[in-house]
Amino acid sequence: MYRIITALSKNRGIGYRGKLPWNIRKDMNFFKNTTSTVLNKKKLNAVVCGRTTWESIPPKFRPLPNRLNIVLSSSMPEEENVTVCRNLNEVHDYIYQNRKKIESTYVIGGTSVYKQFLDNDLVSDVFFTEIDKDYQCDTFMPELDNDKFKLISSKEDSENDVNMKFNHYEYHNSEEQNYLDLMREIIDNGVPSGDRTGTGTNSLFGRMLKYDIRDGKLPLLTSKRTFIRGIIEEMLFFVSGNTDCTKLQEKGIHIWDGNTTREFLDNRGLNHLPVGDMGAGYGFQWKHFGADYKDCKTDYKDQGFDQIQNVINLIKNNPESRRILISGWNPPDLHKMALPPCHLSYQFYVNVDKKELSCLLYQRSSDYFLAANY
Ligand SMILES: NC(=O)c1ccc[n+]([C@@H]2O[C@H](COP(=O)([O-])OP(=O)(O)OC[C@H]3O[C@@H](n4cnc5c(N)ncnc54)[C@H](OP(=O)(O)O)[C@@H]3O)[C@@H](O)[C@H]2O)c1
């Protein structure tokens, strides 16, 4: 994530005729200190700007010292001591390749560059010097989305009768915050109770979290490490109808190992299943509901009911149906599963007007801190 830093006038102006419209020493110092300061003395910060902003810095002051300078430009020739990137992806690649020596990256303008980073949700912090005066400007700061950015600190100052505030806004991820708040609620109000594993739980019943996955977004948590490769491989494994967890092991994914050992299966009365067999669980119910489960080596082609295909057909051909639903909870089969499903039903809803698809997933039980949201 990137940090934006800018000074703006009362009328949100940031530049005039390729230059700063003001000369405020305290703001220049704030800019220099903020963009140069590092916690880890072995690292440097990087600064990213557009070509026009670069050209607005007097040649004797550039590159900005003690910072890695990056300029976005399609026309500027390569130069010593500055990295010229031809597009945003080149900036990301450069930052990633140099991540061991870069602490933070500051986006320092101008308008077009600020806008691209904001529009692509790439910004974690915004440092605004809000100058309480109108100036003649031809370049303006885009509006910040108040739902996304919250003011976390503000310091007032003045210079030559010009008042200003040094405001720090932080990106606020409300979806992640809801997850964190629910964990807090479990800690504070969870009801102590026993459980199957003998570990004991603090539990709450019937909570809901919502995630907006429009525009190709995947709601991964950032406050804990998520095993993205495992998430994707397990989902593909389920969708294919496979129940042989040794296929996951072969890919270095061991999330099912503990529940498919000889001892675990025997304790569940599944002595006839080979090690690694999860029984008539997720994928089997999704793809072959109603078929007779023997073991994970059996070919169930054309057996049982293919709930996934059914849902796809309904979404395509009868999107207004209120029966677009997959059920993984098959009571007569529960004893044939190493673990009965935790997430067990998925209902789909098509907003025909907006051409949007929603899914409501029901999960009967979840170790919230470890397993929820993976
Ligand atoms: N108040 C402040 O804190 C502050 C901060 C910064 C700047 N400013 C002021 O803002 C003004 C300059 O801002 P500006 O908005 O006019 O220009 P700018 O954003 O600094 O530069 C625009 C140029 O950057 C390059 N560029 C931008 N996005 C690119 C991309 N994705 N790929 C490749 N190149 C890209 C293009 O250069 P090519 O044409 O070479 O392709 C484009 O013409 C100046 O007046 C400056 O003093 C003020």
Ordered by where they begin, the domains of the chain are 2-171 (3.40.430.10), 225-363 (3.30.572.10)
Q: Please report the pLDDT score of residue 289 as a whole number.
A: 98
- What would the mean pLDDT of 149-155 be, rounded to a whole number? 96
The letter for the amino acid at 198 is G
CB-based burial label for 336 (10 Å; 0-12, 13-18, 19+) = buried
The gap between the terminal CA atoms of the chain, to the nearest Å, is 22
Q: Which atom of ligand 1 is nearest to the CA of 8?
A: 1
Q: Is 342 a residue of the active site?
A: yes
- Given a cut of 90, whether residue 304 has pLDDT beyond it is yes
DSSP 8-state class, residue 144: P
- Given a cut of 90, whether residue 226 has pLDDT beyond it is no
pLDDT bucket at 71, cuts 50 / 70 / 90? very high
Nearest alpha carbon, ligand 1 atom 27: 50
pLDDT bucket at 147, cuts 50 / 70 / 90? confident
- What would the mean pLDDT of 282-293 be, rounded to a whole number? 98
Q: Please report the pLDDT score of residue 92 as a whole number.
A: 97
- Given a cut of 80, whether residue 134 has pLDDT beyond it is yes
* d(C-alpha 101, C-alpha 149), whole Å: 28
307-330 confidence digits (pLDDT tens): 999 999 999 999 999 999 999 999
- Given a cut of 80, whether residue 268 has pLDDT beyond it is yes
Q: Probe ligand 1: pick from 113, 114, 138, max atoms within 8 Å of CB? A: 113
Q: Please report the pLDDT score of residue 76 as a whole number.
A: 96
- Given a cut of 80, whether residue 373 has pLDDT beyond it is no
Ligand 1 binding site (Cβ under 6 Å of any ligand atom): 6-7, 14-15, 18-20, 49-53, 56, 72-76, 86-88, 108-113, 116, 139
pLDDT bucket at 250, cuts 50 / 70 / 90? very high
pLDDT bucket at 220, cuts 50 / 70 / 90? confident
- 28, two tokens: 């220049």
Cβ atoms < 10 Å from Cβ of 352: 8
Phi-psi region at 15: left, alpha or beta (left = phi > 0; alpha = psi -120 to 50): beta
* d(C-alpha 265, C-alpha 279), whole Å: 9
Q: Please report the pLDDT score of residue 302 as a whole number.
A: 96
Q: Which atom of ligand 1 is nearest to the CA of 15?
A: 45
Q: Please report the pLDDT score of residue 247 as a whole number.
A: 98
Q: Please report the pLDDT score of residue 41 as a whole number.
A: 94
Share of the chain above pLDDT 70, in %: 99
More confident residue, 374 or 345: 345
Asked if residues 83 and 69 have their Cβ atoms less than 8 Å apart, the reply is yes
Q: Phi then psi for 113, rounded to 5 degrees? A: -75, -45
- What would the mean pLDDT of 6-29 be, rounded to a whole number? 96
- Given a cut of 80, whether residue 374 has pLDDT beyond it is no
Least confident of 131-145, 207-221, 240-254, 268-282: 207-221
Q: Please report the pLDDT score of residue 221 as a whole number.
A: 86
Q: Please report the pLDDT score of residue 223 as a whole number.
A: 83
pLDDT bucket at 216, cuts 50 / 70 / 90? confident
176-198 confidence digits (pLDDT tens): 889 999 999 999 999 999 888 88
Q: Please report the pLDDT score of residue 355 as a whole number.
A: 94
- What would the mean pLDDT of 266-282 be, rounded to a whole number? 98
CA proximity to 359, closest of 345, 341, 339: 345
Asked if residues 167 and 130 have their Cβ atoms less than 8 Å apart, the reply is yes
| Average predicted confidence (pLDDT) for the chain | 95
Kindly give the distance from the C-alpha atom of residue 102 to the centroid of ligand 1, in angstroms, as a whole number.
23
Kindly give the distance from the C-alpha atom of residue 251 to the centroid of ligand 1, in angstroms, as a whole number.
46
- Given a cut of 80, whether residue 372 has pLDDT beyond it is no
Share in percent of the chain as helix, strand, coil (round to 5): 30, 25, 45
Q: Please report the pLDDT score of residue 174 as a whole number.
A: 85
